[in-house]
Amino acid sequence: MKIVVEGCGKIGITILQSLIAEGHDLVVIDNNPAVIEEITNIYDAIGVCGNGADSDTLSEAGIEKADMFVAVTDSDELNILSCFIAKRMGAKHTVARIRNPEYNDQSLSFMKQQLGLTMSINPELLAAQELFNILKLPSATKIETFSRRNFEMVELLIKSGSPLDGIRLMDLRQKYKANFLICVVQRGEEVYIPDGNFELHSGDKIGLTATPAEIHRLLKMVGALQKQARNVMILGASRTAYYLGKMLTAGGNSVKVIEKDSKRCTEFCEALPEAVVIHGDGAMQELLYEEGIRSADAFVALTGMDEENILVSFYAMSQNVPKVISKVNRDELTVMAEKLGLDCIVSPQKIIADILVRYARALQNSIGSKVETLYNLMDGKAEALEFKVSPEFPMLQIPLKDMKLKPNILIAGIIRGRKPIIPTGNDMILAGDQVVVIAGGHRLSDLSDIIL
């Protein structure tokens, strides 16, 4: 597909990288000629220097033949206007980054109807939702939800001394009677789609699918269930911090925000009076100690500086804070932080890239079993995808044990109506089911792609 992306900041670059990896033809628009030159030197993309709300610039980018136009500049209003003009000039689908909390669901719905906007994306809100889910289940390093939130995948790190260390998966299912499936394992740089003989070891990162209740049950049985975070300290009064603070305080949690910009402190106090806002430099250990970091259930670093987030998160870990989460956008820093022991990292850019990759794959599909949900797992080495099964799927009502699947493919869950099923070899796929597939080293656009 031909995709035009306006705005080459951090999120724009991440989107560009993901869509190029998918094999799409990319045109990028930015008003900074140095940025355009750098991007076209590094990536297989065409660059256009100019304003994305200018019809001449859009025409030069070939908007008339674009399958999708994505506007992710720093200005919500420019993104909205660019999408409106792009749609009028012939772009089939338009996506705008809209971050201002003042644009509520009603106003966004109006824009979609009246301005032809296909989708709006809010990286900060989506990141806050992911953070909120993790704080509800601090044992996890990542939580992904499928099909109306009644089926989940959680990533867990197996620590030394865990009952899971040294156990085969077939023995694990027999020992712990919870209804779950370990469907992907990362060990060092390698990712495995395991069978029953696979033996887990400390240091492994595992992907576990089940209903939320069964996940809680298993974690409790293996002694890995941490209590839900009630007393949360947040570094940085960012938009993500606002959304997260709003979710936490609505649930009765205690929230303390530390911010060194006095103006931002005042704005945050007015926007979220339920939170305690401290004016000060969160990189100062004395301040964190005085504000009670040792008594916090969780510490979340959300400043605009990856390096500061990582360093202060390590200090929080040294103070034995039970759950430490850091927002990190740069891939190279994420890898470094994880190797040093920071196991819970959230990246708004990657969340948005997942959404757009999923949407692009769904648009490409012509058979009907479209990608409804897509998540990158295990540092991008595997994917979890959710498909709506069409009546045309060629393997309907055939036991899974009789289906010939491509290597490194696993059917991890079936949702039938509102009933989640952890599949066995005797289960079958029916039309109308939601099917969750784990794929290592494959690019799936349709459920039929799993078949040999």
Q: Tens of pLDDT along 374-392?
A: 888 887 889 999 999 989 8
Number of residues assigned to the chain: 452
Radius of gyration of the chain (CA): 23
264-273, 362-371, 387-396, 417-426: which range is least confident on average? Answer: 362-371
| Residue 371 in this model has a pLDDT that exceeds 90 | no
Binned at pLDDT 50, 70 and 90, residue 418 comes out as confident
| Residue 85 in this model has a pLDDT that exceeds 50 | yes
State mean pLDDT over 254-281: 95
pLDDT tens figures, 206-236: 999 999 999 998 999 888 888 889 999 999 9
pLDDT score of 370: 72
With b for 16 or more beta-carbon neighbours within 10 A and e for fewer, the 242-276 pattern comes to bbbbbbbbeeebbbbbbbbeeebbeebbeebeebe
State mean pLDDT over 111-117: 83
Where do runs of H (alpha helix) occur along 89-210? 105-114, 123-136, 169-175
Fold of 2-121: Rossmann fold (3.40.50)
CA–CA separation, 387 and 373 (whole Å): 7
According to the CATH classification, is domain 231-346 in 3.40.50.720? yes
Where do runs of H (alpha helix) occur along 72-186? 76-88, 105-114, 123-136, 169-175
- What is Dmax (Cα atoms) for the chain? 66
State mean pLDDT over 143-153: 83
Query: CB count, 10 Å around CB of 110?
Result: 12
**C-alpha dihedral sign at 112, 444, 179, 192:** negative
Q: Same CATH fold, 367-450 and 231-346?
A: no
Q: How far is CA 18 from CA 9, 13, 351, 440, in A?
A: 14, 9, 11, 16
Q: What percent of the chain has pLDDT over 90?
A: 70
| Residue 278 in this model has a pLDDT that exceeds 60 | yes
State mean pLDDT over 84-92: 95
pLDDT score of 112: 81
pLDDT score of 365: 63
> What rounded mean pLDDT belongs to the chain?
91
Binned at pLDDT 50, 70 and 90, residue 14 comes out as very high
State mean pLDDT over 290-301: 96
Where do runs of H (alpha helix) occur along 176-305? 212-221, 239-250, 262-271, 285-290
CATH of region 367-450: 3.30.70.1450
pLDDT score of 367: 46
CB 420 within 8 A of CB 395: no
Binned at pLDDT 50, 70 and 90, residue 245 comes out as very high
pLDDT score of 148: 65
Long-range contacts of 38-45 (CB under 8 A, 24+ apart): 39/8, 39/13, 43/16, 43/17, 44/20, 45/16, 45/20
Spans of all domains in the chain: 2-121, 138-221, 231-346, 367-450
| Residue 368 in this model has a pLDDT that exceeds 60 | no
State mean pLDDT over 41-58: 96
Both tokens of residue 119?
């989708």
| Residue 147 in this model has a pLDDT that exceeds 80 | no
The second-level CATH assignment, the architecture, of 138-221 is: 2-Layer Sandwich (3.30)
Interior angle at CA 39, CA 121 and CA 377, nearest 5: 50
In what order do the strands lie in the sheet containing 409-416? 371-377, 382-388, 434-440, 409-416, 419-421
| Residue 359 in this model has a pLDDT that exceeds 90 | no
pLDDT score of 446: 86
| Residue 114 in this model has a pLDDT that exceeds 90 | no
